[in-house]
């Protein structure tokens, strides 16, 4: 009986020693190597550990594009683009000068009797009486009109400077003058 008990104890301790040896070898492989490294070159692992975490977290929080979408929504307001009233280069348009044929103190007359116009300006005579009249050049300096009645008009353009006298061929006392300036 005692021999069998001793044998069981020996086997138990033998198994225990085997397990303890295996555990010691595993610990020596993992922790045993770490101890000499920390003792001799302990600065290398600590430096690598400190540099790595600091570099990685900084770039991650930087992306803050939350402010960008807010200003982009505002710009689509500029719609003030109605500048079409630019084509107005019409200063050399000749001014039309009006002469009225009227009844004045019982007589027909050109009114105004004398007009002064720039070269190239058209003149329009309007018959505002009940009688027919003409605009006839005294010496043929410009093309005369035919007879025009009440409400009708005659127009002429004086292209050259000078003094142009005219009359009515029906009522020869009706005389007037057109002065054309250069
Ligand atoms: Cu007349």
Instruction: Give the tens place of pLDDT for each residue, 137-168.
Output: 999 999 999 999 999 999 999 999 999 999 99
Residues with Cβ < 8 Å from 130, sequence gap 6 or more?
A: 150
Residues 7-36 pLDDT 10s: 554 455 444 445 454 444 444 554 544 444
* Strand locations in the chain (E): 97-104, 107-111, 114-118, 122-127, 136-137, 153-157, 162-167, 175-181
More confident residue, 99 or 55: 99
State the distance from the centre of ligand 1 to the C-alpha of 25, rounded, in angstroms. 143
* pLDDT above 70 for 71: no
Q: Which of the four pLDDT bands, split at 50, 70 and 90, describes residue 54? A: low
State the distance from the centre of ligand 1 to the C-alpha of 118, rounded, in angstroms. 26
Q: Is 123 exposed, middle or buried (0-12, 13-18, 19+ CB in 10 A)?
A: buried
State the distance from the centre of ligand 1 to the C-alpha of 95, rounded, in angstroms. 26
The number of beta carbons lying within 10 Å of the beta carbon of residue 167 is 19
State the distance from the centre of ligand 1 to the C-alpha of 158, rounded, in angstroms. 22
State the distance from the centre of ligand 1 to the C-alpha of 148, rounded, in angstroms. 10
State the distance from the centre of ligand 1 to the C-alpha of 181, rounded, in angstroms. 27
State the distance from the centre of ligand 1 to the C-alpha of 29, rounded, in angstroms. 137
Give the mean pLDDT of 58-64: 57
* pLDDT above 50 for 73: yes
State the distance from the centre of ligand 1 to the C-alpha of 114, rounded, in angstroms. 16
State the distance from the centre of ligand 1 to the C-alpha of 166, rounded, in angstroms. 11
pTM for the model stands at 0.51
Residue 131, pLDDT score: 98
Give the mean pLDDT of 88-93: 70
State the distance from the centre of ligand 1 to the C-alpha of 100, rounded, in angstroms. 12
Give the mean pLDDT of 46-62: 53
Q: What percent of the chain has pLDDT over 90?
A: 47
């Amino acid at each position: 009986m005692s021999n069998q008990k001793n044998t069981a104890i020996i086997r138990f301790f033998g198994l225990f020693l085997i397990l303890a040896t295996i555990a010691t070898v595993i610990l020596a492989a993992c922790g045993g190597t770490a101890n000499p490294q920390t003792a001799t070159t302990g600065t290398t692992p600590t430096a690598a550990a400190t540099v790595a975490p600091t570099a990685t977290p900084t770039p991650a929080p930087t992306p803050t594009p939350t402010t960008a979408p807010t200003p982009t929504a505002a710009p689509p307001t500029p719609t003030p683009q109605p500048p079409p009233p630019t084509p107005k280069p019409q200063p050399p348009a000749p001014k039309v000068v009006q002469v009225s044929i009227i009844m004045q103190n019982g007589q027909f007359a050109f009114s105004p009797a004398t007009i002064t116009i720039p070269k190239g300006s058209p003149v329009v005579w309007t018959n505002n009486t009940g009688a027919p009249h003409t605009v006839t050049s005294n010496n043929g300096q410009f093309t005369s009109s035919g007879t025009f009645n009440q409400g009708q008009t005659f127009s002429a353009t004086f292209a050259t400077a000078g003094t142009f006298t005219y009359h009515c061929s029906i009522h020869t006392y009706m005389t007037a003058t057109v002065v054309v300036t250069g």
